[in-house]
């Protein structure tokens, strides 16, 4: 059995694909012909997070030429449209090499061309939609793929109901079952100290970095009781690191954190954006979250995502336009001092999370291949 998982660009698209790959391998272990990692081929671009993350996970990665259109100028959209011909050419070439039994699109601009090419070749196809409001590419692909797996109930109305399934967003197994001893060896933080994990996506978030460094001024009385693990992105790394050091806070500041399972494991609360994959991971492991939705997300889907969690009592939302050091510090202080509130948020988060999403996606994929 050969499988192509296409897409990426950001961790929000790639990590559900890795979770699905894990489930395929796990499921095959009980058969007389177990799969190997070489049987699952990822397709992405050289600029996306997949270029470094997929080889690290020991899966093969094939590259296509592709460019995004969302949020681009008219001229950039024309260029991206022209590059689509190259994407299709690359996709047909990869299909001929791999000869997959199914192609699964996980989102991102590397996904559309590969899924379309597979459909034209008569290969079973499905797409994963992580957000409550689907983007243009997945809405278009949904018309002709064989199945659509959605994270939110609200997404179903955007796709043909007879082939749309509510599965939740797949989460990697290591996120669900962290090793705490390994976590403390990866991140040598002080055991037992209240830990805040701050991140703004794989590239960081300037507004979160700025607000967090400003918030430190309002948290000085807690610096003996609270520590931070902060992913900044490359651009702000040195400035943020110096802010923590200059004000005497304990913590680890890194431009990029690839050991997310261990980082989540050590966190008492999480301060982050509200991308669908981040929320799936946070709710699956029941972490109280302070959500700061990315204000320029397509169809404002991050605010929709965050609103659902806040309505359930699983998170606290601060809109980016309302974000300041003082507001963020007040929120962190409130959660630090109110253990009961944190436990209520944890309970609500777990109730929202879907730990079996990868299993459901693989069930659908296997049924398509049997047909």
Domains of the chain plus CATH, in order, are 3-171+355-370 (3.40.50.2000), 175-352 (3.40.50.2000)
pLDDT values of the chain reduced to their tens digit, one per residue, 371 residues: 999 999 988 878 899 999 999 999 999 998 888 999 999 999 999 888 899 999 999 999 999 987 665 655 666 666 666 678 888 999 999 999 999 999 999 988 889 999 999 999 999 999 999 888 888 888 889 999 999 999 988 899 999 999 999 999 999 999 998 889 999 999 999 999 999 999 986 666 899 999 999 999 999 999 999 999 999 998 999 999 999 999 999 999 999 998 999 999 999 999 999 988 899 999 999 999 999 999 988 778 899 889 989 999 999 999 999 999 999 999 999 999 999 999 999 999 998 888 999 999 999 999 999 98
What is the Rg, in whole angstroms, of the alpha carbon atoms belonging to the chain? 21
Taking the C-alpha atoms of residue 61 and residue 41, their distance in angstroms, rounded to an integer, is 6
Is the Cβ–Cβ distance between 165 and 368 less than 8 Å? no
Give the orientation angle of helix 74-98 with respect to helix 111-120, to 10 degrees.
50
Structure tokens at 344: 């209520």
What is the value of pTM for the model shown?
0.87
Q: What angle do CA 262, 205, 135 make, to 5 degrees?
A: 95
Taking the C-alpha atoms of residue 312 and residue 304, their distance in angstroms, rounded to an integer, is 13
């Amino acid at each position: 059995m050969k499988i192509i998982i296409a897409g990426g660009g950001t961790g929000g698209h790639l990590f559900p694909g890795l979770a699905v790959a894990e489930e395929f391998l796990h499921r095959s272990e009980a058969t007389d012909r177990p799969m190997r990692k070489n049987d699952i081929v990822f397709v992405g671009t050289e600029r996306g997070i997949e270029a470094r993350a997929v080889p690290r996970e020991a899966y093969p990665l094939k590259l296509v030429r592709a460019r995004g259109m969302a949020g681009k100028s008219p001229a950039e959209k024309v260029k991206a449209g022209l590059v689509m011909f190259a994407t299709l050419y690359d996709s047909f070439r990869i299909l001929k090499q791999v000869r997959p039994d199914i192609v699964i699109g996980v989102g991102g601009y590397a996904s559309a061309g590969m899924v379309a090419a597979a459909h034209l070749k008569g290969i079973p196809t499905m797409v994963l939609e992580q957000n409550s409001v689907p983007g243009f590419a997945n809405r278009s692909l949904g018309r002709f793929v064989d199945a659509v797996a959605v994270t939110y109930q609200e997404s179903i109305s955007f796709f043909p109901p007879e082939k749309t399934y509510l599965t939740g967003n797949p989460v990697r197994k290591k996120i669900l079952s962290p090793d705490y001893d390994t976590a403390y060896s990866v991140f040598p933080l002080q055991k037992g100290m209240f830990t805040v994990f701050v991140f703004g996506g794989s590239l960081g978030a300037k507004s979160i970095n700025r607000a967090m460094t400003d918030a430190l001024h309002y948290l000085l009385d807690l610096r003996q009781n609270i520590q931070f693990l902060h992913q900044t992105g490359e651009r702000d790394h040195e400035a943020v690191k110096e802010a923590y050091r200059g004000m005497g806070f304990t913590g680890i500041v890194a431009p990029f954190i690839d050991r997310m399972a261990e980082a989540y494991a050590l966190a008492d609360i999480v301060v982050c954006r509200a991308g669908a994959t981040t929320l799936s991971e946070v709710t699956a492991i029941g972490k109280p979250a302070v959500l700061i939705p990315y204000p320029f997300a397509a169809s404002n889907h991050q605010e929709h995502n965050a609103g659902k969690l806040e309505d359930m009592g699983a998170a606290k939302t601060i809109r980016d336009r309302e974000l300041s050091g003082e507001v963020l510090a007040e929120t962190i202080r409130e959660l630090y001092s109110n253990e009961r509130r944190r436990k209520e948020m944890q309970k609500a988060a777990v109730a929202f999370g879907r730990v079996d999403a990868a299993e459901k996606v693989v069930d659908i994929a296997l049924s398509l291949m049997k047909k």
